[in-house]
Structure 1
Amino acid sequence: MIWESFGSVVLGLALSWAALRSLPDRLPSVRAVFLTGALGALFGAYLTHSALGTGHPVATLAGAVFVGTVTLSLLIRPRSRRLARSAAAQ
């Protein structure tokens, strides 16, 4: 379980790095992204390990990647664009 935890945190940090490289202007601070990716992957590993039990390290890491990706996707902000006001609001 120790190696699964360590591996999931490393995978979460790698996911965070990839997200920051591909969407730098649509994510909050670097610190928040790395923390969210690591903790999301760690929670995913815990959840998958609890559901499947011991003896499934690849599936546990796959669950960590999945939950880490979903958690990071919650941080993505919409593209910045100016909202058009309606004629009634002006």
Structure 2
Amino acid sequence: MFLEALGSALVGLALAWAAVYRLPHRLPPRTLVLPTGVAGALFGAFLTHTALGSTNFLVLLSGGAIVAAASLSLLLRPTERFRRRSATA
């Protein structure tokens, strides 16, 4: 169980670091993004473990990676070119 939690936390940290590296202009500060990735991965591994029981290690890591990616996507801000101005502005 400890290795599952450690592995999913490392996967979440790697996803968050990759997001900060690739999209720094669309994300909030790094101090918010990195813990969000880790927390999302831990929660995803917990959900996968609860739903499927003691299953394959890679299945738990993939469940954690999916939830971490989903939680990181909630932090994305739109780019400037896609923002529309209101008619009154």
2:75 is paired with a residue whose SS is coil
Matched AA of 2:66: F
1:4 is paired with a residue whose SS is helix
Identity of aligned residues (%): 48
CA-atom RMSD in angstroms: 1.5
TM-score normalized by structure 1? 0.90
- Deviation track 1:6-65 (CA, whole Å, cap 9, x = no partner) reads 000000000001001110000001010001000000000000011111132110000000
Higher radius of gyration, 1 or 2 = 1
What stretches of structure 1 move > 3 A for 4+ residues in a row? 81-85
The residue number in structure 2 matching 1:84 is 85
Q: Describe how 1:30-69 pairs up with structure 2 within 5 A.
A: 30-69=30-69
Structure 2 gap ranges (5+): none
User: Structure 2: how far apart are the matches of 1:59 and 1:85?
Assistant: 46
User: Structure 2: how far apart are the matches of 1:16 and 1:55?
Assistant: 25
- Give the C-alpha shift of residue 83 in structure 1: 4.2
The residue number in structure 2 matching 1:11 is 11
The more displaced of 54-63 and 19-28 is: 54-63
1:26 is paired with a residue whose SS is coil
- Give the C-alpha shift of residue 80 in structure 1: 2.3
